[in-house]
Amino acid sequence: MARPPPLQELPPVYTPPARAASPQILAGSLKAPLWLRAYFQGLLFSLGCGIQRHCGKVLFLGLLAFGALALGLRVAIIETDLEQLWVEVGSRVSQELHYTKEKLGEEAAYTSQMLIQTPHQEGENILTPEALGLHLQAALAASKVQVSLYGKSWDLNKICYKSGIPLIENGMIERMIEKLFPCVILTPLDCFWEGAKLQGGSAYLPGRPDIQWTNLDPEQLLKELGPFASLEGFRELLDKAQVGQAYVGRPCLHPDDLHCPPTAPNHHSKQAPNVAQELNGGCHGFSHKFMHWQEELLLGGMARDAQGQLLRAEALQSTFLLMSPRQLYEHFRGDYQTHDIGWSEEQAGTVLRAWQRRFVQLAQEALPQNSSQQIHAFSSTTLDDILHAFSEVSAARVVGGYLLMLAYACVTMLRWDCAQSQGAVGLAGVLLVALAVASGLGLCALLGIAFNAATTQVLPFLALGIGVDDIFLLAHAFTEAPPGTPLQEHTGECLRRTGTSVALTSINHMVAFFMAALVPIPALRAFSLQAAIVVGCNFAAVMLVFPAVLSLDLHRRHCQRLDVLCCFSRPATPTLCLFQPLLCPRDSDSAPGTRG
């Protein structure tokens, strides 16, 4: 006769829940916690037994409910606006933005496109005529961008932000100003005559060549037109804005340029300007009074002498301002150029985004590969594109991650003995967690919680790990049921022994995420709320639906069917019965001596 196993190796013996809890409560000093635990375990036991009795109904209704919630993903909104994501709620920045929009309106905003130039060699001084010449080359390429949409051609002069065209009594001068009025471009080139090359537009007057900013001398023009028209209002306007000679009175970066105007300070001397000296204190647009660009807007990595004079810098920056979609729509509404295309604010936004993408592309390609300088172009649209790309759900990654978890669950829970194998349970558990994650995100979408990059890139995998951990815990406890457990109480016993830890863990996770939602950053708050809701859906799936799967698997094992391929019965294994006669009592008489 075989020796009985040691006492510590004997499997636990099944004890009814009430009988198991009473001695602990009576003997212990902490009666309230023990009574509460026993009461909670009793509830879980009753829940498990009820689920086992109606496992098919519970599984069907659970899948139906989670599937219905998952449909909420169709109305999900992905938020990519930096202001809506990372500006603290109630902060000073938020209040100032709200005040600006309230007082000036949404249409007062504009979009910025930046062109940043740095040397390849770190620490090299960039305040040289050669470096400014390369910056001019890149800025010119960017300013000449044109896109064709809706049968029209759109260039910088049509979509750029302009400070406001003044009203002039003289109709001819007013039309000329409207055609010539410059775009707002914050650039270090405005310290030189070459800054005029970035401005488009031209006007025509009889007996004169086309008037452009590269050859426009407002003072000389007033002298020539004075005898023929009353321009006192226009002259007063120019004097108040301190326009002077505009760009033609500024030094030329390259005095040898054939188009360098005679009024330039270095036209006759042909001497290259001192770039650091010209940029010291910043630059001005065509108006010295109203368009002052500070050094910080134009230069980076500045170094000064003891007197505070600019000596060197390591970066140049030009900023092109464009109208907002609302402004562009209002500007061309009713215009003859757009009357036949059904002009709308959405179309205006499409034009701006197309121009910005083309701007970035041409600016980065403006300099040759062997240049000593490098250009970095940036626009609000490129930032939106980056955020959109990061916020989009990568189907390949999500599907790949869940497939790996499916394979891992199936392999680790598969056994040669069909009575112990749980491969199908592992597959069903992972699929159930995936459905619970989808339903949780769908519920978030229905509640109006906007998604962001953290939601789409992190949360599916985080929820998978949390949910599958509970699946493994319940499945392992189900196979370790004490001998003598009645068949109809297997699921209840599993939840009684393991459900408490699963419930406490999930509740702690939910409370932690809900507490994290107190952070006033919108992106983190949305992520925390979504994580808490998804964990809650995982908890419901694990505690309500997965026990039904375990009950169906118990029925499969009781019917001696194969794991995974549960439609097929387990083949007869007389060899197995020869060495395990207790599992096949009908064969014990035909195999004498097997117990010896």
Q: What is the CATH number of the domain that holds 426?
A: 1.20.1640.10
C-alpha distances (whole Å) from 295 to each of 247, 273, 318 are 19, 18, 11
Task: In whole angstroms, give the CA distance from residue 427 to residue 472.
Answer: 11
- d(CA 96, CA 187) in angstroms, rounded, equals 27
DSSP string, 187-221: -GGGGSGGGGGG----B--TTSPPB-TTT--HHHH
Alpha-carbon distance of 413 to 424, in angstroms, equals: 8
**Shared domain check, 414 and 500:** yes
Residue 579 lies in a domain: no
Residues 522 and 410 in one domain: yes
165's CB contacts (< 8 A; 6+ apart) are: 177, 178, 181
Could you tell me the two tokens for 590? 């035909």
Instruction: Say if residue 284 is in the same domain as residue 205.
Output: yes
> Do 290 and 304 belong to one domain?
yes
- The pLDDT tens digits for 266-323 are 988 889 899 999 999 899 988 888 889 999 999 998 999 888 889 999 999 999 999 8
Which of these, 526, 506, 516, 504, lies nearest to 458 by C-alpha position? 526
| 458 vs 466: CA distance, rounded Å | 13
Residues 428 and 541 reside in one and the same domain = yes
What Cα–Cα distance (Å) separates residue 188 from each residue in 121, 131, 146, 238, 265? 21, 11, 24, 23, 18
Q: Does some domain include residue 587?
A: no
Are 154 and 293 within one domain? yes
Residues 520 and 507 in one domain: yes
Number of structural domains (the chain) is 2
**pTM reported for the whole predicted model:** 0.71
Q: Is residue 138 part of a domain?
A: yes
Cβ 404 vs Cβ 412: under 8 Å: no
Pair 381, 427 in one domain: no
User: DSSP letter string over 360-411?
Assistant: HHHHHTSS-TT-SEEEEEEEHHHHHHHHHHHHS--HHHHHHHHHHHHHHHHH
> Are 376 and 468 within one domain?
no
Distance CA 267, CA 586 (A): 116
In a domain, 89, yes or no: no
Query: What DSSP character marks residue 344?
Result: -
Whether residue 32 lies inside any domain: the answer is: no
Residue 464 lies in a domain: yes
Q: Are 542 and 456 found together in one domain?
A: yes
The DSSP symbol for 80 reads: -
164 in a domain, yes or no? yes
Residue 229 domain boundaries: 109-326+370-388
**How far, in Å, are 348, 537, 582 from residue 442 at the CA level?**
33, 11, 51
Structural tokens at position 526: 């949305």
- Amino acid, res. 126: I
Residue 581 belongs to some domain of the structure: no
Indicate if 382 and 397 belong to the same structural domain: no
Per-residue pLDDT of the chain (596 residues; tens, 9 = 90+): 444 444 344 445 555 555 555 555 555 556 777 778 888 888 888 888 899 889 889 999 999 999 999 999 999 998 888 778 888 777 787 777 777 777 666 555 678 889 999 998 888 899 999 999 999 999 999 888 999 998 888 988 888 888 766 666 666 666 777 777 888 899 999 999 999 899 877 777 777 777 888 888 888 877 877 666 667 777 777 788 888 888 888 999 989 888 899 989 998 888 989 999 999 989 998 888 888 999 999 999 899 988 888 999 999 999 999 988 888 888 888 888 788 888 888 999 899 999 999 998 888 888 887 788 899 988 888 888 888 888 888 888 889 988 998 888 877 776 655 555 666 788 888 999 999 999 999 999 999 999 998 888 899 999 998 989 888 888 888 877 777 677 778 888 889 888 888 999 999 999 999 999 998 889 999 999 999 999 999 999 999 999 998 888 777 766 555 555 555 555 555 433 333 333 333 343 433 333 33
Q: What is the pLDDT of residue 369?
A: 79
On whether both 374 and 402 belong to a single domain, the answer is no
Instruction: Give the pairing of strands 146-149 and 303-304.
Output: unpaired
**Could you tell me the sign of the dihedral formed by the alpha carbons of 167, 169, 175, 181, in that order?**
negative
